[in-house]
Amino acid sequence: MSSAVGTSNEELVLAQYESIRSKDLDAFMSRCAEDIVLLEANSMPVAGEYRGQAQVRELMAGLIEFFDTSRLHPVRMVGDGEYVVAMLVFHVGPPVGYEVVITEWWHIRDGKVAEIRPFYWDTQELNQKLAGGAAQ
Amino acid sequence: MNATETTTQTLAERNKELVLKQYEAVQNADVESFFSRCDPNMVIHEASSMKVGGIYRGMEELGGLLGQLAGLYDMTTINMERIVAGDEYVVAMGSFMTADHSYQVKITEWWQIKDDKVVEVRPFYWDTQELNAALG
C-alpha cells in the first residue's frame, strides 16, 4: 500500500479489512457503532441504506459469502480527522472472474465505525459481469 | 510531534489547498489556472462504461476531456463536502449537476500530487449505471 499508515483510525480500518479477509464477522461488528449506517448505490443488487448493527451484519454476511474476500487488499489509504478513505481490490470468483476496484469512505466516531460509503469503480460494468456470470 | 510529522502534515495541508484550488478553477471554468497546477504528463482514468471512458494522458488529451465534461455537466454547481489529505494523495467527495440539472452526480476523486503538481486523478462515480441512464 502506497500511503503511510499510522493513526488509530487507519489501523481500525485495516483491522476491519483483515476481519473481512478472514470472514470474522464478530470482530468486524465489534468495531461498529450501534447506529452504524452503510450506503449502497441504487443499481447494485444490494442497493439501499443499512442502519444499525443487525442490518449491517446481515449485509456483510451476504457480501462475505458472495465475494472472494480472501484476496481483498487495500492499495491506497488516507486518514484525516474522523475520516479514512481506502482504495481496495477484491475479486468475484468463478464463473464471473472479475476484479472489483472500490473506494470506501469510513467515518470513525469515538473509536467506532459510524458510516461506510463504498464507491465502486464502475457499477454498470460490475452489474453486467454479475449478470453474465449468473447466466452461465 | 517530531520534525518528520510536522513536515508531512504541512505537505498534506499544501496538497489539500492545491486540490481545493483545482475545484475552484473547475467551478469558474478557468482552464488556464487548472492546467497551471498539473504535471505535463498527468493521467486521468475514467470508468470504461462512461461516455468519457478511458485513460487520458498529457495536457492535450486532458483539454479534450475537460471540453467533453463541460458539455455533460454544470460544473458551476460543484460542491465538495468532504476532503482528506495525505502526503501523496488527496481524496474529495461531493457532487455536481448534469447539464440539464435533472440528476445530481455524486462522486469521490483521488488526486495524486507530486512536487506541488497533479500527476493523476481517478474519479469514482457513486453509480455509473444510474448516471449513464440519466445522461441518456
Instruction: Return d(Cα B116, Cα B43) in angstroms, integer.
Output: 15
pLDDT digits (tens, 9 = 90+) for B68-97: 999 999 999 999 999 999 999 999 999 999
Per residue in B18-77, pLDDT tens? 999 999 999 999 999 999 999 999 999 999 999 999 999 999 999 999 999 999 999 999
| Confidence tier at A5 by pLDDT (50, 70, 90) | very low
Percent of chain A predicted with pLDDT > 70: 92
- Per-residue pLDDT tens over the stretch A106-122: 999 999 999 999 999 99
Whether the model pTM is above 0.80: yes
DSSP chain A: --S---SHHHHHHHHHHHHHHTT-HHHHHHTEEEEEEEEE-TTSTT-EEEEHHHHHHHHHHHHHHHSEEEEEEEEEEEEETTEEEEEEEEEE-TTT-EEEEEEEEEEEETTEEEEEEEEES-HHHHHHHHHHHHH-
- Nearest-by-Cβ selection for B85 from A78, A84, A125: A78
Mean pLDDT of chain A: 91
Cell 441518456 belongs to B136
Q: Is the pLDDT of residue B7 over 80?
A: no
Least confident of A32-36, A101-105, B10-14, B89-93: B10-14
Q: Do residue B84 and residue A80 have CB atoms under 8 angstroms apart?
A: yes
CA distance A83 to A75: 17
The CATH number of the domain holding residue B53 is 3.10.450.50
Tell if the CB–CB gap between A42 and B127 is shorter than 8 Å.
Answer: yes
Residue A107 domain-assigned?
Answer: yes
HSE-up of residue A35 (Cα within 13 Å, Cβ side): 2
The tally of domains found in chain B comes to 1
Q: How confident is the model at residue A133 (pLDDT cuts 50, 70, 90)?
A: low
Extract the C-alpha cell encoding B49: 462504461
Residue B77 near residue B107 (C-beta atoms within 8 A): no
CA distance B76 to B64: 19
Residue-wise pLDDT tens digits, A7-62: 699 999 999 999 999 999 999 999 999 999 999 999 999 999 999 999 999 999 99
* Structural domain span for residue B118: 3-135
Query: Is there a domain that residue A3 lies in?
Result: no
Neighbours of A71 (CB within 10 A): 12
Range of the domain at A45: 8-135
- A1 within some domain: no
Please state which of the ranges A44-53, A93-102, B76-85, B114-123 shows the lowest mean pLDDT. A93-102
Number of structural domains found in chain A: 1
Tell me which chain A residue has its CA closest to the CA of residue B5.
A6
Q: Domain for residue A2, yes or no?
A: no
What is the value of ipTM here, to two decimals?
A: 0.91
- Interface contacts (A, B; CB < 8 Å): 79
Asked if the Cβ–Cβ distance from A127 to B129 is below 8 Å, we say yes
Contact A78 B108 (CB under 8 A): no
- Does the pLDDT value for residue B132 go beyond 50? yes
Q: What is the three-state SS of chain B?
A: CCHHHHHHHHHHHHHHHHHHHHHHHHHCCCHHHHHHCEEEEEEEEECCCCCCCEEEEHHHHHHHHHHHHHHHEEEEEEEEEEEEECCCEEEEEEEEEECCCCCEEEEEEEEEEECCEEEEEEEEECCHHHHHHHHC
Instruction: Determine whether the interchain pair B82/A79 forms a contact, defined as Cβ–Cβ distance below 8 Å.
Output: no
CATH of the domain at A82: 3.10.450.50
Evaluate whether residue A72 is within a structural domain: yes
Report the pLDDT value the prediction gives residue A135, as an integer from 0 to 100. 53
Identify the contact set of chain B against chain A, taking CB-CB distances under 8 A.
8, 12, 47-50, 82-91, 93, 107-108, 110, 122, 124-130, 132
Please name the residues between 46 and 75 in chain A that touch chain B, using a CB distance below 8 Å. none
Q: In the β-sheet with B104-114, what is the strand arrangement from edge to edge?
A: B54-57, B38-46, B117-125, B104-114, B89-98, B73-85
